Amino acid sequence: MTIETISTSKAHGGVQGVYAHDSEATGTRMTFSVFVPAHEEGEKLPILWYLSGLTCTHANVTEKGEFRGPCAGHRVIFIAPDTSPRGEGVANDDAYDMGQGAGFYVDATQEPWAKHFRMRTYIEQELPALIAEHFPMVDMGAQAITGHSMGGHGALTIGLRNADRFRSVSAFAPIVAPSQVPWGEKALGGYLGQDRTAWRQADAVALIEDGARVPDLLVDQGDADQFLAEQLRPELLAEACEKAGIALTLRMQPGYDHSYHFISTFMADHVAWAAARLRR
């Protein structure tokens, strides 16, 4: 697989790059960003994956996430993929919560989405293989994952399904139980069909109920988030983790909303959380 370098810039002693490639999983051109801290030749560094939310691309967190300083300090590579396939001929919807920009990190089985919307395969298989091939400084044996909102849903579900791969899982304002909220019911129904048993692999609470386990989780949630009561419902994750014996650190942050002002405020904590587990 080949990649195109869109841009590189020096930052915090390391390199912030943006790259693109032709994806076999989605059948489209995909763009992602990678921050690599300063390192010695031949040295391997751990990875923190970041999955973005509805309407976002790789650029939102790359420009506003304030992760480079903490990642440089902890010497952790930060990778931010796009949220969906895009381009001419790719199915879309007029609403912001379906279609391009709203891939929900699932492999769609329903038309018109099934041809291109294969974000689960892209994130879990294709992009990691591409990273391993083109970034020799990555330690693929030391991976962590986090994300925001829809991307928080992605981080939790991918982390739970691949607990042997990810040493650390965290999230900012995640959709914890998409099967039980409007955003998720619309997206999962549209992408996966109306058989709700097929949704359980794409629902963090359902995965935990069905036996998926990780040692611990960190979730930050603003209590002034406009989507808190209807779409996010962190109390459902807290209940599931308590029953399953998963150590959940759920921090309700007073006065914070759903924006990158919130994410950037607590990004350093999530990098530190990941770094502590990546280097055990």
> Parallel, antiparallel, or unpaired for β 247-253 and 216-222?
parallel
Q: Which of 33, 52, 84, 149 is catalytic?
A: 149
Residue in 74, 82, 225, 270 annotated catalytic: 225
| Active site (annotated) includes residue 149 | yes
Cβ(170)–Cβ(146) below 8 Å: yes
3-state secondary structure of 136: coil
Q: How many CB atoms lie within 10 A of CB 148?
A: 29
Q: Would you call 225 a catalytic residue per the annotation? A: yes
Q: What angle do CA 186, 25, 112 make, to 5 degrees?
A: 40
Give CA–CA dist 7/46, Å, rounded.
Answer: 22
Distance of CA 182 to the CA centre of its chain: 20
- Whether 153 is catalytic: no
Q: 58, 74, 116, 258: which one is catalytic?
A: 258
Q: Distance between CA 108 and CA 234 in Å, rounded?
A: 26
Catalytically annotated residues: 149, 225, 258
